[in-house]
Amino acid sequence: MKVPFLNLKAQYDAIADEVEQSIKQVLSSCAFSGGPYVEKFEEEFAEFCGSRWAVGVGSGTEALWLALLALGVGTGDEVITVPNSFIATAEAITLCGARPVFVDIDETSFTMNPALLARAITMHTKVIIPVHLYGQTADMDAILAIARDHGISVLEDACQAHGAEYKGRRSGSLGDAGCFSFYPGKNLGAYGEAGCVVTNDERLAGSIRMLRDHGQSRKYHHQVVGMNCRMDGIQGAVLSAKLKYLDSWNAVRRSHAFCYQELLADVPAVTVPKEMPYARHVYHVFAVRSSEREGLKQALSRSGIECRVHYPVPIHLQQAYAARGEGAGSFPVAEQVSDELLSLPMFPELTVEQVSYICDEIKRNAQLP
Ligand X SMILES: *Cc1c(COP(=O)(O)O)cnc(C)c1O
Distance CA 90, CA 77 (A): 13
Where does this chain touch ligand X (CB under 6 A) — which range of 26-34, 81-89, 122-130, 266-274?
A: 81-89
- Look at the chain and count its residues: 369
Sites for ligand X among residues 61-80 (CB under 6 A): 61
- 104 in contact with ligand X (CB under 6 A): no
Distance CA 187, CA 159 (A): 9
Beta 195-199 vs 53-57: how paired, if at all? antiparallel
- 181 in contact with ligand X (CB under 6 A): yes
Count of residues engaged in binding ligand X, rule: CB under 6 A: 14
* DSSP-assigned states of every residue in 256-287: HHHHHHHHTTT-TT-B-----TTEE---SSEE
- Residue span 318-337 as binding mask against ligand X, x where in contact by CB under 6 A, dash where not: --------------------
- Residue span 193-222 as binding mask against ligand X, x where in contact by CB under 6 A, dash where not: --x---------------------------
Would you state the torsion angle of the CA atoms of residues 184, 188, 191, 196, taken in this order, to the nearest 10 degrees? Answer: -100
Least distance in angstroms from the C-beta of 302 to ligand X: 29
181: which strand partners? 195
Question: Which residue in the set 11, 51, 84, 89 belongs to the binding site for ligand X (CB under 6 A)?
Answer: 89
Q: Greatest CA separation found in the chain?
A: 69
Where does this chain touch ligand X (CB under 6 A) — which range of 12-20, 25-33, 119-127, 156-164?
A: 156-164
Spell out the residues 6+ positions from residue 198 whose beta carbon is closer than 8 angstroms to its own: 45, 46, 49, 51, 53, 54, 55, 172, 173, 177, 178, 180
Least distance in angstroms from the C-beta of 131 to ligand X: 5
Least distance in angstroms from the C-beta of 77 to ligand X: 19
Compare residues 35 and 130 and give the one whose CB is closer to ligand X: 130
- 235 in contact with ligand X (CB under 6 A): no
Report which residue's Cβ sits closest to ligand X: 60
Least distance in angstroms from the C-beta of 186 to ligand X: 6
Where does this chain touch ligand X (CB under 6 A) — which range of 7-15, 56-64, 298-306, 314-322?
A: 56-64
- 59 in contact with ligand X (CB under 6 A): yes
Distance CA 174, CA 112 (A): 15
Least distance in angstroms from the C-beta of 163 to ligand X: 15
Are 214 and 165 a contacting pair, CB within 8 Å?
no
Orientation of helix 233-263 relative to helix 352-366, angle to 10°: 50
Compare residues 135 and 233 and give the one whose CB is closer to ligand X: 135
- Residue span 115-154 as binding mask against ligand X, x where in contact by CB under 6 A, dash where not: ----------------x-----------------------
Cα 305 to chain centroid, rounded: 24
Apex 117 CA angle, 147 and 286, nearest 5: 105
Please give the residue ranges that form the binding site for ligand X (CB under 6 A). 59-61, 85-86, 88-89, 131, 157, 159-160, 181, 183, 195
